[in-house]
Structure 1
């Protein structure tokens, strides 16, 4: 059956590939981006921008855009080392690990010419924890003193542990020592907002490019909600504007690999993301680039819909789904773009043991297996225990190009392994998918999680009982206990590390979520583009340091 599916996938892929190759034959990949008088490049993203409000954004497309035009206290360099942004230096941390003093640049400006001050960070952070605002990313500030109590309505926002010693000195007080807190401060949720400007715009703030102030390397132009195209234009008031010689970055949303390659060959894109047959075809092309990223693609398994239990409240049903999937088939036969099968929820090559340096993924091990016979046995037992003979499931995913082939394979694998299972696939725009996810209107959902900061908890905390991102009603006393235990071990990083490994083992044994693959960032890119940065945590694509030859 698996061989038959391969043949079908290959046949379906032949026609568009032939059409692309025939249109590409007489086109070289020369440096067409130098033809205009100004220095411009044409780039693609696979997702629209949902929100440019840094406190309200939740999706990767929005965070990528925010990072181009607004700058926080700290940035990441090409090797993901933390470097100053609006700050002049790394924070001064008190001996007890609770107080962070951050000096700010005096030449950091907003695009209206006003100075970026400590008050802009205080306003932005208080706004995120304000329960009336309801930020989806408020959990990122939980480590700051009084943040959780403010979010829960027990304290005033003015009691958040952040103060301005003066206009250019920010002081942050934590609830307890957190080794990775400087890393958290690189994320867009903690970026500054000019209070006077934001309050003047009211509900229009961040809804389009005309209702924003910028302090980053670019200014956003020609964007409003729903747009498939926009521009990043050079911000001449940016304190480090010489780090890039670009005048304009033109962006368009392209979800189809066939279209992306055509646009690249016709000179309408300077970077085209590849997958499937196209990745295989262009692997030896001089413009081919690849890098493993930290996005983990996984299947959320919903245990309740409209407060009614689904079959997935049964542990054996969840485990059966996990074991019915051949992850190697997905990465080798469908994607074929240097993505890797993954058997745990924390990404590979992301973070090392604080004592030995061993990668978390390698040390924690492969925690999920492809085992059709065991999957059949577990599924049969789950049907018997729940009194069902036939199960119909809604399987959702975003409408990105590769998800069609991936969801069709997963449907095939699960239906042909698990008796009585029928799956209906729906591919949705990112915003619609997020709405369905938030409302728990799904049975299975193919999604991805990326790290907000460099620590295993950026993945593991998503599945805590009280997490804003736990949309599948997964509740485990053992798992929650281990996460809480890890919180109290900040001063003992080795014990904390082992506790987090134990937590991942519990999550995978209980099949609270099903990891599928870790994606690679594979593309064709013009060779005269230098300085394009792809980060392993936080928003992945950064155009702010590109030098066009």
Structure 2
């Protein structure tokens, strides 16, 4: 999204003194009184590098949102480190053809304001996601539903979407094609419930502040100081509230990673990511986790942009030294990526995708001779005699880490190709908007899978895909993706997906793979049941605990 958009990295805060409101005991002795300890509340505080773009589950498009929303909503199922467990639905039935899922809700489900949670709330939430008037960036995830694409395009009315509630305790979801991974998708907040009365009352401001929504999950949002901090408090109306150990979760927006580490040292926060340049300084109270994030440079291939030229795109892929980039930017903490699909996702026959389909279309280190061949061809096609006349803008966010990324890429491309690369730093929210409007040439971004299947990466680039902000279009690629949806043989289906990946990279050079992200978390040793998984969220604090 959002996996999923991973541009929202876990990180840190602006100054130590600003954040007493969310203070919690860290692994070091705090130099000041701790508000959590003094209040007697069990609270875990973690950091984000950017403010959450949204807490509207049908309008969220980043992994940071998904990580928070699994705390505030009870979905039909719950993904616990890859194991799918019942949540609001205590059981479900799947038709023999794999097209119809019937979810049976628990007795006594309540919203945080005491109102009953009904099957119609899930139907309304999913219909809202797909309603073209909503214009959700994440609507593409619902194309798996019967009439999903047609509803979202406006050619079929919303009430013909494949979701219904025959009674207040039954949700029936019909799929456009069988998908063995759908139960994991049902754990996404995107497919969660929404209260129609609140949506209609607040409109575009729905869920923009705590009082503008209601919550049926383990926690409820009780405070949001935008750009500063968010407080999630235990929801006593959650069906499994007796199993929830924490009283509060505090999410801090912090710009500088080193400041966050200092805050962790002082007991101001409980969980933060160690910036890669500080990795060697921390060997205790730390864990490395693959986040599932596959980072790349997205290229704007719209007709009026320089990267509409395929040869120029190939030049970029051969001119970059991914090994050097990873060393300079990430201190060798991440793994070099040379393809699109995360090798860890599941393929057929109990193999991972990487095991079944090894593939390295581009080198880990630059091949300047090959890059120059492609550049010369591009210059001829573009009518350019001096490579410096090719001007490309690299869009990035306004954090120090993003600036470092951009400067390394700028230096490599200007040195190895001689083209002109200009850096445009904006806020994270602005960057997402500019991507949507295709107002960029290149941007460092990435993807975390919404489910453990190659399709989660490949569906992004369907020609008319909701999330295709690159202008990429290839009819053969589209057909493979479409045919894979109805192919019932698992191995044949995976072969189709691999063929699509080969077209996307090997024939079209449609993006520049960079890195597979591995985060090093500093974790308060008093925390237990800290769960991390590479699909759907960064980490899960729902059933976490923190000792005195």
TM-score under structure 1 length normalisation: 0.89
**Distance in 1 of aligned mates of 2:355 and 2:459:** 16
CA deviation after TM superposition for structure 1 residue 362, in Å: 6.3
**Distance in 2 of aligned mates of 1:501 and 1:492:** 15
The equivalent residue for 1:68 is 71
The equivalent residue for 1:14 is none
Indicate if the aligned counterparts of 1:280 and 1:336 stay in contact, CA closer than 8 A. no
Q: Does 2:295 correspond to 1:297? A: yes
Q: Does 2:525 correspond to 1:517? A: no
1:355-504 aligned within 5 A: 355-360=349-354, 363-369=357-363, 370=365, 371-388=367-384, 389=386, 390-419=389-418, 421-489=419-487, 491-504=488-501
CA deviation after TM superposition for structure 1 residue 442, in Å: 0.9
**Distance in 2 of aligned mates of 1:202 and 1:447:** 30
CA deviation after TM superposition for structure 1 residue 378, in Å: 1.2
**Distance in 2 of aligned mates of 1:104 and 1:328:** 50
The equivalent residue for 1:265 is 265
The equivalent residue for 2:11 is none
CA deviation after TM superposition for structure 1 residue 313, in Å: 1.9
**Distance of aligned partners of 1:361 and 1:252 in 2 relative to their CA distance in 1, 3 Å threshold:** farther
Indicate if the aligned counterparts of 1:274 and 1:337 stay in contact, CA closer than 8 A. no
**Distance in 2 of aligned mates of 1:268 and 1:98:** 49
**Distance in 2 of aligned mates of 1:143 and 1:359:** 21
Q: Alignment partner for residue 56 of structure 1, among 38, 59, 65?
A: 59
1:217-228 aligned within 5 A: 217-223=218-224, 226-228=226-228
Structure 1's unaligned 5+ residue stretches are 1-26
Q: What's the CA shift string for 1:72-97, capped at 9, x where partnerless?
A: 111111x31111111102x3111111
**Distance in 2 of aligned mates of 1:68 and 1:428:** 29
Q: Alignment partner for residue 316 of structure 2, among 299, 314, 321?
A: 321
Instruction: Show structure 1 runs of 4+ deviating over 6 A.
Output: none
CA deviation after TM superposition for structure 1 residue 154, in Å: 2.2
CA deviation after TM superposition for structure 1 residue 314, in Å: 1.8
**Distance in 1 of aligned mates of 2:308 and 2:227:** 40
Q: Alignment partner for residue 505 of structure 2, among 481, 503, 508?
A: 508
**Distance in 2 of aligned mates of 1:221 and 1:287:** 30
The equivalent residue for 2:306 is 311
Q: What's the CA shift string for 1:443-464, capped at 9, x where partnerless?
A: 1111121112222111111111
Question: Aligned-pair RMSD on alpha carbons?
Answer: 1.9
How many pairs were matched up?
A: 512
**Distance in 1 of aligned mates of 2:421 and 2:452:** 36
CA deviation after TM superposition for structure 1 residue 518, in Å: 1.1
The equivalent residue for 1:144 is 145
Indicate if the aligned counterparts of 1:31 and 1:527 stay in contact, CA closer than 8 A. no
**Distance in 1 of aligned mates of 2:473 and 2:152:** 22
Indicate if the aligned counterparts of 2:75 and 2:88 stay in contact, CA closer than 8 A. yes
Q: Secondary structure at the match of 1:343?
A: coil
CA deviation after TM superposition for structure 1 residue 541, in Å: 2.6
Q: Secondary structure at the match of 1:177?
A: coil
The equivalent residue for 1:245 is 245
CA deviation after TM superposition for structure 1 residue 294, in Å: 0.7
CA deviation after TM superposition for structure 1 residue 46, in Å: 2.1
Indicate if the aligned counterparts of 2:181 and 2:451 stay in contact, CA closer than 8 A. yes
Q: What's the CA shift string for 1:20-61, capped at 9, x where partnerless?
A: xxxxxxx99337577432212221112212222111222233
**Distance in 1 of aligned mates of 2:145 and 2:240:** 30
Q: Secondary structure at the match of 2:144?
A: coil
Q: Secondary structure at the match of 1:210?
A: helix
**Distance in 2 of aligned mates of 1:28 and 1:530:** 13
CA deviation after TM superposition for structure 1 residue 266, in Å: 1.6
CA deviation after TM superposition for structure 1 residue 144, in Å: 1.6
**Distance in 2 of aligned mates of 1:398 and 1:442:** 13
**Distance in 2 of aligned mates of 1:415 and 1:362:** 37
Indicate if the aligned counterparts of 1:337 and 1:520 stay in contact, CA closer than 8 A. no
Structure 2's unaligned 5+ residue stretches are 1-24
**Distance of aligned partners of 1:358 and 1:162 in 2 relative to their CA distance in 1, 3 Å threshold:** closer
**Distance in 1 of aligned mates of 2:409 and 2:122:** 45
Indicate if the aligned counterparts of 1:352 and 1:358 stay in contact, CA closer than 8 A. yes
The equivalent residue for 1:116 is 117
TM-score under structure 2 length normalisation: 0.89
CA deviation after TM superposition for structure 1 residue 484, in Å: 1.8
**Distance of aligned partners of 1:204 and 1:475 in 2 relative to their CA distance in 1, 3 Å threshold:** closer
Larger mean CA deviation between 176-185 and 354-363 belongs to: 354-363
**Distance of aligned partners of 1:68 and 1:233 in 2 relative to their CA distance in 1, 3 Å threshold:** same
**Distance in 1 of aligned mates of 2:521 and 2:176:** 43
Q: Secondary structure at the match of 1:309?
A: coil
CA deviation after TM superposition for structure 1 residue 337, in Å: 6.2
**Distance in 1 of aligned mates of 2:216 and 2:485:** 34
The equivalent residue for 1:6 is none
Q: Which has the higher contact order (CA 8 A, sep 6+)?
A: 2
CA deviation after TM superposition for structure 1 residue 361, in Å: 6.5
Q: Does 2:97 correspond to 1:96? A: yes
Q: Secondary structure at the match of 1:488?
A: coil
Indicate if the aligned counterparts of 1:275 and 1:336 stay in contact, CA closer than 8 A. no
The equivalent residue for 1:279 is 279
Indicate if the aligned counterparts of 1:144 and 1:174 stay in contact, CA closer than 8 A. yes
CA deviation after TM superposition for structure 1 residue 140, in Å: 1.4
**Distance in 1 of aligned mates of 2:400 and 2:523:** 19
Indicate if the aligned counterparts of 1:392 and 1:424 stay in contact, CA closer than 8 A. yes
**Distance in 1 of aligned mates of 2:458 and 2:358:** 13
Q: Secondary structure at the match of 1:186?
A: coil
